[in-house]
Amino acid sequence: MGSIAIEIFGKKLRNPVMNASGTLGYGREIERLWSIKVLGAFVTKGLSILPCQGNPQPRIFDLGCGMLNSIGLQNIGIKRYLEEYTEFFLERKTPVVVNIFGFTEEEYIECALAIGDNPVVLAIEVNLSCPNVKTGGILFGKKPETVFRIIRGVKSATNFPVIAKLSQEVTDIVELAKAAFEAGADGLTLINTIPGVVLEENRVIRGGLSGPFLKSIALKAVYDCSKAVPIPIIGVGGIMNTEDVISFLRAGAKAVQIGTATFVYPNTIPKIVKELKKRRSFD
């Protein structure tokens, strides 16, 4: 079996496979089935400067070929998380991508400052699909200007590489990729969940779509953005198996993240890593 290590942000990773933010708990939970050492890097759940309780129930809807979630970014806050988990990742020698979000531009910067020079951190992934409370809830990721400002702000507050995770619900994702790049982003993660709505007993519930049906849309974003900006792209959206990973790499991704697949087939990530290793020795 050949090596499938990659270099990204100047560091070497065991392999190009990460989990997607918000889909592998805080990190410990899956270890009842497999060690997180399997991952190229662990991506944290979205973390904010203050703890966040998230949305009321119900939060999960099965759409047959994927799902809709309205978790609402529940988390224990970035400081408590780093206190409780740094040791855990150190022990496992697993680099961590810290996914951060804020409800104001300042909160993004505070998150970056809270990370400091934490020894397990590989990079900061900035989730731009968060409502800006100051503009009545328009997502930061909707406008090139706000993307530019937030990435620039986070960059100035940290020495770690900064990855912009873009929202797909935009007229031209390439324009946003360029704004992130010009602000100094070191990489892009494409794509986040896509906004959708379900009707349950006459209630309208908003949430984000994930799962297999995102794949073709995510591939388009990865392909188009990889032609437009010279920074590494991490592909996410609907990956279910090794074939899908190969498609993303071919479309221009340097690494991939796997989310919803793990909910249904909890061994997806170790299986893909194993299969990638087998393949690599043949090419």
Ligand X SMILES: Cc1cc2nc3c(=O)[nH]c(=O)nc-3n(C[C@H](O)[C@H](O)[C@H](O)COP(=O)(O)O)c2cc1C
256 CB-side CA count, 13 A? 29
Q: How far apart are CA 250 and CA 16, in angstroms?
A: 13
- Cβ 58 to a copy of itself shortest distance, Å: 15
**Do 252 and 222 form a contact (C-beta atoms < 8 A)?**
yes
Nearer to ligand FAD, 87 or 243 (CB): 243
List the interface residues with a copy of itself, window 204-263 (CB under 8 A). Answer: 204, 206, 209, 212-213, 215-217, 219-220, 223, 247, 250-251
Q: Which one of 202, 230, 282, 283 is in contact with a copy of itself (CB under 8 A)?
A: 202
21 binds, among ligand X, a copy of itself, ligand FAD, none (CB under 5 to 8 A by kind): ligand X
**Torsion angles phi and psi, residue 121, rounded to 5:** -80, 130
Position 136 contacts a copy of itself (CB under 8 A): no
Q: Which does 22 bind (CB under 5 to 8 A by kind): ligand X, a copy of itself, ligand FAD, none?
A: ligand X
The residue to which tokens 């989730």 are assigned: 127
Does the protein bind another protein through residue 266 (CB under 8 A)?
yes
Q: What is the DSSP string of 64-122?
A: SSSEEE-----BS-HHHHHHHHHHHHHHTT--EEEEE--SSHHHHHHHHHHHTT-TTEE
Q: Determine whether 280 is exposed, middle or buried from the number of CB atoms within 10 Å of its CB (0-12, 13-18, 19+).
A: middle
Phi, psi of 28 (to 5 degrees): -80, -35
- Residues between 57 and 116 that touch another protein (CB under 8 A): 57-67, 69, 71, 74
Of these partners, a copy of itself, another protein, ligand X, none, which one is at the site of residue 58 (CB under 5 to 8 Å by kind)? Answer: another protein
**Interface residues with a copy of itself (CB under 8 A)?**
63-66, 68, 142-143, 169-172, 194-199, 202, 204, 206, 209, 212-213, 215-217, 219-220, 223, 247, 250-251
Q: Just list the catalytic residues.
A: 130
